[in-house]
Structures are given as C-alpha cells and as structure tokens.
Amino acid sequence: MIVIQDGKGTGNNAEVDKNNDLHTRAITVGEVLNSTIRGEGYIVSTGTVNITNDTESYLLYIKNDSENDLVIAATVFINGLSTGGASDEVTFLGQINPTGGTIISSGLLFDPFNTNLGSANVFEGETRLALTLGLTATGGLQADGFIQGSGRHTFPNEFILPKGASLSGGAQCAAGNTSMNVSIGYTVYFRDSEII
C-alpha cells in the first residue's frame, strides 16, 4: 500500500476519503486556449459590410487545407437596424462544402487574424472575402438560419472541417432593405492531433 506524497517535500499526503475517493486538483485548459497558445487559433471575420439590397450575398469563404481538423468553435453574427426593410430580420446564409460560385472565384484572398500575437504561423487553407454584394456559393449543402432583430448573436455550436472541407457564410436582409450593417465572424482553430 502506498501514500502519495508531495514531490516538493512539504510532507503533504494525498487524501482518500470515507467514500474511497482519492482527492485531486487539476487545472483545465480548453481546446481553444490550448490551440491559441500553440499559434493555431484564428479569427476569420468580414468586418462591417453595408448591405444595400434584399437579395442573397455570400460574404465569407473558409476552406481547410491542413491535415488537422479545422474546428469552428463559435460563430458571431452582428447586424444593425434596417433602413427600408419590412423588418430587421436577416437570413443568415450558410453553405457547407460549396463547390462553385463567385465567392470562390472572385472573393478577395486574405490572411485571418492569428490570435497568438507572437506566432508567425499562417492559416493553412483558403479564406476569401466579398468586396461586392451579390456573390454566390453553389453546389453545397444549404444550412440557413434566421436572425430576428438587430444585435450581436453568438452561436457556440462547434463544426469541424476536415481537410478539403469548406464553409461559406452570407446574409439576406428583409424585403425592401436599402441599408443594414452586418458582420460575420468565426473563431476557429486547428485541432492538435496529439490530443485525439
């Protein structure tokens, strides 16, 4: 039989209680923070986009080219008030694995924001931003949602993009809209293969 002693030599011993539980203490680190420390966390964001119509516009495209899974840890959709629209409701467009469309062919390539400010890592994949309204995403699985009213809407649901998988996000404002500011942002990280 053994007693677990403090390795620092304090004389403290680990307790076992009357329920036969060994008492432990642990510091937990979430996967997002762990990936950020490794320099594998990114913010992929459109910034502010002024939508001046009521038709579909894809605004952002992300594709994973890494051997490691790309995890979409959170999605943030921000929208202001509509001018001219029947309401402030917005359809938050999402397309999984699009194979075509003008967001892929003509969206601006850009470097996502590495959240480890000392890391020289670059995003291993493709990220594109719409510079004009009306860009399309086609050939994928449509997964839209509705945003009712202006605000900052955070969706903590986790999505995984294995190598080669992609995602495009966009917005469509209510009928009659002539002006609404929107922003789409994703908190993403490449999963550490050693922790699987």
Partner 1 sequence: MIVIKDGAGTSNKAEVTVNNRLKTTGVNLTITEAATESGDTYNINSALVPLTTTNESALFYIKNNEENDLLVDQIIINFRDFVGTGGQPNLRIYRNPTNGSIIATATDAIQQNRNYGSAKTLDCDCFQGIDSDSLTGQDNIVFVPLITTAAATLVSFETLTVLPKGASLGISYEPPSGMTSMNIIVAINCTLNGSQL
Interacting residue ranges for partner 1, rule: CB under 8 A: 1-5, 12-30, 32-33, 36-37, 39, 41, 43, 45-48, 78, 80, 111, 113-119, 150-152, 181, 183, 185, 187
Nearer to partner 1, 89 or 136 (CB): 89
Q: What is the largest CA-CA distance in the chain?
A: 77
Nearest CA among 68, 62, 76, 61 for reference residue 35: 68
Cβ at position 164, least distance to partner 1 in Å: 26
**Number of alpha carbons in the 13 Å side-chain half-sphere of residue 60:** 25
Residue 45 CB, nearest approach to partner 1 (Å): 5
β-pair type (41-45, 125-129): unpaired
Residue 195 phi/psi, 5-degree rounding, is -95, 0
Q: Quickly tell me which residue has 């995003």 as its tokens.
A: 123
Residues 188, 71 contacting (CB under 8 angstroms): yes
Q: Which is nearer to partner 1, 7 or 141 (CB)?
A: 7
Of the two residues 39 and 94, which places its CB atom closer to partner 1 in the complex? 39
State the minimum distance, in angstroms, from the CB of residue 100 to partner 1: 28
Minimum gap (Å) between residue 130 Cβ and partner 1:
14
